Amino acid sequence: MIEIREYRETDAEAMLALIRQLQAHEVALYDRMKPAADMGSWYIDLLKKQCAEDDGVILIAAEDGNALGYATILTNVIEDGAGDEVAYAYAYVGDLVVAEAARRRGIGRRLLDECERRARAAGRDELRITVLALNNGAREAYRGFGFSDLLVDMRKVFT
């Protein structure tokens, strides 16, 4: 049975393996990503710092004690209204990854469901997630969960 729970320090090794798996996938889609081997415990520390600053947590999807996926949910991201927008707060899913061997079991959906539950409990009316444009599988999965495009960040590479 899959359990969605908050991160524990004993999850660090398994979570780092998931981080590296995600990074290996994304480096093929975006050439400015760090190599998977460069990802270390510093990244988990960065996620914990973001969670502390923006009222968030790291969620772990576990089965029989083994971490199969994780997500970060920040429930108090502040858009300060500088420039042309009004100030507001929203919830943000930072990372979401499910181990390749555990995909197609609904684990990603369970993690997103818990992120949404926490966002609503924090009084937010908006949940955001970011995805690389070339990550078509994730984009379609997120659309299936009810996400829609908000901003499209475009680039032109000079050769």
Structure tokens, 38: 């460069």
Q: What is the dihedral of CA 62, 99, 133, 92, to 10 degrees?
A: 20
pLDDT value, residue 85: 80
pTM over 0.75? The answer is yes
Task: Please classify residue 63 by burial: count the beta carbons closer than 10 Å to its beta carbon, then call 0-12 exposed, 13-18 middle and 19+ buried.
Answer: middle
Domain ranges in the chain are 2-144
pLDDT value, residue 82: 77
* Helix 41-53 with 12-27: angle, nearest 10 deg: 100
Mean pLDDT of 21-37: 92
Q: What is the CATH number of domain 2-144?
A: 3.40.630.30
Average pLDDT, the chain: 94
User: Which tens digits make up the pLDDT trace of 46-98?
Assistant: 999 999 999 999 999 999 989 999 999 999 999 887 778 888 999 999 999 99
Q: Which residues of 119-149 are buried (b: 16+ CB within 10 A; e: fewer)?
A: beebebeebbbebeeebeebbebbeebebee
